Amino acid sequence: MALKTEHMTLNMGPQHPSTHGVLRLEVELEGEIIKSVQPHIGYLHRCFEKHAEAMTYPQVIPYVDRMDYLAAMYNEFGYAVAVEKLLGIQVPERVEYIRVIMGEFQRIASHLVAVGTYGLDIGAFTPFLFCFRDRERIINLFEMTCGARMLYNYIWVGGLSHDLHPDFVRNAKEFVSYFKPKVKELNDLLSYNRIFIDRTANVGILPLETAINYGISGPNLRGSGFEWDIRKDDTYSVYNKFDFDIPVGKGLQGTVGDCWDRYYIRIQEMGESLKIIEQALEQLPEGDVTSAIPKRIKPPVGQVYSRVENPKGELGYFIISNGSPNPFRVKVKGPSFVHLGIMNELCKGHMIADVIAILGSIDIVLGEVDR
Amino acid sequence: MTYDFFSKLFGSDLIAALIQSLLPLFIFILPYALFAVWWERKVSAHMQDRLGPMRVGWHGALQTIADILKLFQKEDIVASSIDKPLFNIAPVLMFVGTYAAFAAIPFSSVFIGSNLDLGVFFIVAVSGFSVAAILMAGWASDNKYSLIGAMRSAAQIISYEIPTILVIITIVMVTGTLNLTTLSEMQTGHFWNWMILGGPGSSLSKFLLIPSMILGFGIIYISTLAEVNRTPFDIPEAESELVAGYHTEYSGMKFAMFFLAEYANMLAVSSVVAALFFGGYQSPCGYLGNLIGLKWLIPIEQIFWFTAKGLFFVFVQMWLRWTLPRLRVDQLMNTCWKYLIPLAFVNLIIIGLITLI
Amino acid sequence: MIQYFKNIYSAIATIFIGMKITFKHLFVPAVTIQYPDVKPKLPDRERNRLYVNFDDCIGCDQCARACPVECITVDTVKGLPTEDLGKTSQGKKKALWVTSFTIDFAKCCYCQLCVFPCPTECIYMTDIYEFSEYERSNLIYNFSILTPKEAEEKKANYARFEAEKAAEKAAKAAAATPPANASKEQ
């Protein structure tokens, strides 16, 4: 006689230590094996897009910061690029360089949080605090430049709010030389740890086909082995002036596109970002950073879609202007929201502990998922 | 010895037994637990470039006492749908299992709660109490996370007892005793008489035993780590998956009981490992008391060495916890059944052959 | 079989590498500080609580319009021509009584957008970050130096002035053109 069994529904979140915010995962379990995962979102919905319609163009920037709060600088970057495209203005060379430096620092900071919290999800507490210790230094650099530590409002349409601090270049170079050995230490402590590899390699394999079908971008797509980076393939700002590589997943410890690959891409990208920062600091031109900021931003009637390579993937802004000082519509195509969609696909057939590992490896920020 | 002393002092066996049984709790386990919680926080903090608790007392030394006072004041939250009797018994039973294990642990040559001939066996048996307690807690909590945690824990502890026992058997084969005091006494003298270095004597078999003993120590250390639910084997309370595992629903003093039991358990297994492989309470380099002719100094020294060894292994447990990630439940079972148990068996056979020589 | 022993070796080796790193860090000085006792040195561009140097405020309302969360409210009333409202430190003559200037710090998002448009640079961000309160209402700061009574007075003054002016105008108009003509013109 077959035993009558039932699946168990487990609600992970919205209050759960490792759903990275207020995400609810409705997990259907058979023992420890997952039958399906249904993400429920919206606990952090703040009507950003609707808000933006009541704001003038510069006033949107503080709201943009709050989307992906771990990569606020890059959100501003993307927004500024989009509005500048709409206005048809050119920003000074120095502004572009500073934007790239800040953007890459932000990328390192965001990846540090991603890597650190991933370690925490897997159960290693110490790497998490090491990552935060290093992130703190980047944040100090930002604080020195614009006075804020998390939500900067630094990159403005047509320029920057402040020029670099006189000490910035020296401190940034100091950070670059400080950070290189720390990456190695992190690798020894976490990336190549056997238990960590066992937990992440061959778990949550994302085949390239599926990744493209689901619209995955950024490190997650590169983890599946596809060399795609908007910084190179659809270049913006001054990224074409720097020499850097695009790391792709090779399946070093398991299969191409597994959690370890996605994790390791981020570690490698931090190194690439350091390369870009070093080059940009060397080439940094002199100039005025506020000269191109328009007095009143009133774009002509029209629409624009512009995308940048956010630390988490492709961040696109679709802005419609009706000629007034307020945007008629601001639509954001955020990476985290798109990436959350593959949870069910990746988790099927794995165990509860793997849900956490997979969720951590796709690196979402709920502020941007719910917007 | 202490029992005789107290029974003479009070003229009553009952009072003497009571004191004897409470002594380890009050002079050892409670202060130790308070210390260990603080120590763990300090160790973790310094490993992570932090300072840890610094406010209460010198470098936060009294922080744990402040925390316990806070836990006393906390409301004892009892959800309406729980199974009340089981829910209430579980933390007590958890602590009883740990506490009972201390009865057979020789703190020094003169102070041992109960000098059982089956000391090691007793400890292995009573530490199995914690499985029942965890299952009770998980089941009674009426919480899915707790239940999963409890199920994992039961599977884990039962599996990991096998390699533990296999290693203990190898020791028993070499020494021919299960009595921890006798075992410790056998390893007297200097550190080269410890079981990890092949035990007393200087025959050929002693040197042949060394690799097997080191392997055995590794196995028993890993499996006891799993038995006390420490990282990398802390999957029953894996906070990033199961919130807090079987004690998710507990608060206030009941939670403190689990907490206390966890730390006491850490010391219990560490002391067993120390007694089996590292000479128990024996000094590694002779006694000062023997040297200067003060016989009463020896037990005090022994307690010092015993504590030092126990705390060292507790420190290593903490060290591992703040270094390693956590295994998944199936990998945990793999480690046990595919690696530890076969190795323990091979070790058993090798040691059996060596003892035949 | 070789893989089996390789697994054991790699597990033990990487565990020891990790343990070596964490052990080294036991002796690394802490990077954290004991916050209320030791305070971090803040950079000079720090963006924390807003401050309004009220002597310089001319009540132009530009900061309130720049604010994306509308946490600044400025109420002004025109000064009487007979009154001397004083000058800003840059020598600009004030023309408005600022009867109330409140910033709700519960709403403020510290974006600094209000700082840049200020023509007299009287609103700026300070490095004060410890200003928590038990009541939300305590976070509404009023920077106006006029007492509510004074503010009422100024408002009443101006209303009277306006009324007088209107009455004067009306009287003038009445004197210049008789009402009958006015209705005809319409």
Q: What pLDDT does residue B58 have?
A: 84
* Mean pLDDT within C118-141: 86
Pair of tokens at residue A316? 């696109």
Show me where the domains of chain C are located: 50-166
Q: Taking CA atoms, what residue in A is nearest to C46?
A: A147
A123 within 8 A of B238, measured Cβ to Cβ: yes
- Among residues B29, C15, B207, the alpha carbon closest in space to that of A195 is found at C15
**Residue C33 pLDDT greater than 50, yes or no:** yes
Determine contact: A174 vs chain C, CB below 8 A. Answer: no
pLDDT in tens, A294-327: 778 888 888 889 888 888 888 889 999 888 888 8
Sign of dihedral through CA atoms B62, B67, B70, B72?
Answer: negative
DSSP 8-class letter at B118: T
Instruction: Find chain C residues with C-beta within 8 A of B51's C-beta.
Output: 30, 32, 34
Q: Taking CA atoms, what residue in B is nearest to C19?
A: B323
> Which residue, among A60, A79, A125, A194, would best test binding to C if mutated, counting the most C CBs under 10 Å from its CB?
A194
Place of tokens 């969720």: A359
Closest by Cβ to A32, choosing from B48, B145, B329: B329
> Which residue, among A65, A73, A152, A153, would best test binding to C if mutated, counting the most C CBs under 10 Å from its CB?
A153
Place of tokens 């009443």: C156
**Residue A104 pLDDT greater than 50, yes or no:** yes
**Residue C56 pLDDT greater than 50, yes or no:** yes
Q: Taking CA atoms, what residue in B is nearest to A16?
A: B243
> Which residue, among C16, C22, C24, C33, would best test binding to B if mutated, counting the most B CBs under 10 Å from its CB?
C22
Which pLDDT tens digits describe chain B residue by residue (357 residues)? 566 676 777 777 777 777 777 776 677 778 888 888 888 888 888 888 888 888 887 888 888 888 888 888 888 888 788 888 888 888 888 888 888 888 788 877 776 767 777 878 888 888 778 888 888 888 888 888 888 888 888 888 888 888 888 888 888 888 888 888 777 777 777 777 777 776 677 677 777 778 888 888 888 888 888 888 877 888 777 667 777 778 888 888 888 888 888 888 888 888 888 888 887 777 777 777 677 777 777 777 888 888 888 888 888 888 888 888 888 888 888 888 888 888 888 888 888 888 777
Give the Å distances, CA to CA, from C100 to C74, C143, C162: 6, 7, 20
* Mean pLDDT within A266-273: 89
Does the distance separating the beta carbons of A356 and B240 come in below 8 Å? yes
Q: What pLDDT does residue A248 have?
A: 86
Q: Give the integer Cα–Cα distance in Å for A84 and A61.
A: 13
Q: What pLDDT does residue A158 have?
A: 83
Pair of tokens at residue B351? 């040691």
* Sequence-ordered strand ranges (E) for chain B: none
- Contacts of residue B310, Cβ cutoff 8 Å, sequence gap at least 6: B267, B270, B271, B274
Does the distance separating the beta carbons of C111 and A144 come in below 8 Å? no
A130 within 8 A of A264, measured Cβ to Cβ: no
- Among residues A11, A110, A36, A122, the alpha carbon closest in space to that of A360 is found at A122
Place of tokens 């945007």: A327
- Among residues B186, B190, B267, the alpha carbon closest in space to that of B230 is found at B267
Place of tokens 């075992």: B183
**Residue C183 pLDDT greater than 50, yes or no:** no
* Mean pLDDT within C26-50: 85
Pair of tokens at residue B73? 């004041």
Question: Which band of pLDDT confidence, cut at 50, 70 and 90, is reported for residue C182?
Answer: very low
A225 within 8 A of A208, measured Cβ to Cβ: yes
Q: Chain-wide mean pLDDT for chain A? A: 86
Does the distance separating the beta carbons of B51 and C32 come in below 8 Å? yes
Closest by Cβ to B324, choosing from A195, A353, A356: A195
User: What is the residue type of C77?
Assistant: V
Looking at per-residue pLDDT, the higher value among C160 and B205 belongs to C160
Q: Taking CA atoms, what residue in C is nearest to A144?
A: C43
Determine contact: B45 vs chain C, CB below 8 A. Answer: yes
**Longest CA span, chain B:** 66
CB-CB neighbours of B122 under 10 Å: 19
Determine contact: B214 vs chain C, CB below 8 A. Answer: no
- Contacts of residue A15, Cβ cutoff 8 Å, sequence gap at least 6: A22
Q: Give the integer Cα–Cα distance in Å for A295 and C181.
A: 49
Pair of tokens at residue A280? 């940009």
Q: What pLDDT does residue B94 have?
A: 84
**Residue C186 pLDDT greater than 60, yes or no:** no
Show me where the domains of chain B are located: 1-69, 74-356
Q: Taking CA atoms, what residue in B is nearest to C36?
A: B55
- Among residues B43, B2, B40, the alpha carbon closest in space to that of B22 is found at B2
Query: pLDDT > 70: what percent of chain A?
Result: 100
Q: What pLDDT does residue B1 have?
A: 57
Interface of B with A in 3-42 (CB under 8 A): none
Pair of tokens at residue A303? 């629409």
Three-class SS string for chain A? CCCCCCCEEEEECCCCCCCCCCCEEEEEEECCEEEEEEEECCCCCCCHHHHHCCCCHHHHHHHHHCCCCCCHHHHHHHHHHHHHHHHCCCCCHHHHHHHHHHHHHHHHHHHHHHHHHHHHHHCCCHHHHHHHHHHHHHHHHHHHHHCCCCCCCCEECCEECCCCCCCHHHHHHHHHHHHHHHHHHHHHHHHCCHHHHHHHCCCCCCCHHHHHHCCCCHHHHHHCCCCCCHHHHCCCCCHHHCCCCCCCCCCCCCCCCCHHHHHHHHHHHHHHHHHHHHHHHHHCCCCCCCCCCCCCCCCCCEEEEEEEEECCEEEEEEEEECCCCCEEEEEEECHHHHHHCCHHHHHCCCEHHHHHHHHHHHCCCHHHHHC
Q: Which chains touch B (3 or more CB pairs under 8 A)?
A: A, C
**Residue A73 pLDDT greater than 80, yes or no:** yes
Does the distance separating the beta carbons of A195 and C11 come in below 8 Å? yes
Q: What pLDDT does residue C185 have?
A: 45
Closest by Cβ to C14, choosing from A63, A133, A194: A194
A43 within 8 A of A24, measured Cβ to Cβ: yes
Question: Distance from first CA to last CA of chain C, Å, rounded?
Answer: 109
**Residue C97 pLDDT greater than 80, yes or no:** no
Looking at per-residue pLDDT, the higher value among A264 and B197 belongs to A264
Closest by Cβ to A133, choosing from B47, B49, B327: B49
* Mean pLDDT within A77-88: 88
Q: Give the integer Cα–Cα distance in Å for A114 and A128.
A: 9
Q: Give the integer Cα–Cα distance in Å for C78 and C98.
A: 9
B112 within 8 A of B302, measured Cβ to Cβ: no
B64 within 8 A of B263, measured Cβ to Cβ: no
pLDDT in tens, A168-200: 888 888 888 888 888 888 888 888 888 888 888
**Residue C184 pLDDT greater than 50, yes or no:** no
Instruction: Find chain C residues with C-beta within 8 A of A126's C-beta.
Output: 22, 25
Question: Which phi and psi angles does B224 have, rounded to 5°?
Answer: -70, -30
Closest by Cβ to C113, choosing from A58, A143, A151: A58
Q: Taking CA atoms, what residue in C is nearest to B327?
A: C11
> Which residue, among A122, A197, A200, A358, would best test binding to B if mutated, counting the most B CBs under 10 Å from its CB?
A122
Q: Please, what is the Cα angle at A19 between B328 and C22, to 5 degrees? A: 55
Question: Distance from first CA to last CA of chain A, Å, rounded?
Answer: 51
Paired residues of C25 in beta bridges? none
Burial A246-256, CB ≥16 within 10 A → b, else e: bbbbebebbbb
- CATH 3.40.640.10: does it fit domain C50-166? no
Provide the CA A261 distance to its chain's centre, in angstroms. 17
3-state secondary structure of B323: coil
Interface of A with B in 94-153 (CB under 8 A): 119-126, 129-130, 133
Q: What is the ipTM, given to two decimal places?
A: 0.82
Question: Which phi and psi angles does A304 have, rounded to 5°?
Answer: -145, 145
- Cβ-Cβ contacts under 8 Å between A and B: the total is 79
- Is residue C109 packed enough to be buried (19+ CB in 10 Å), middle (13-18) or exposed (0-12)? middle
Determine contact: A72 vs chain C, CB below 8 A. Answer: no
Question: Which band of pLDDT confidence, cut at 50, 70 and 90, is reported for residue C180?
Answer: low
Q: What pLDDT does residue B24 have?
A: 66
DSSP 8-class letter at C29: P
Query: pLDDT > 90: what percent of chain C?
Result: 0
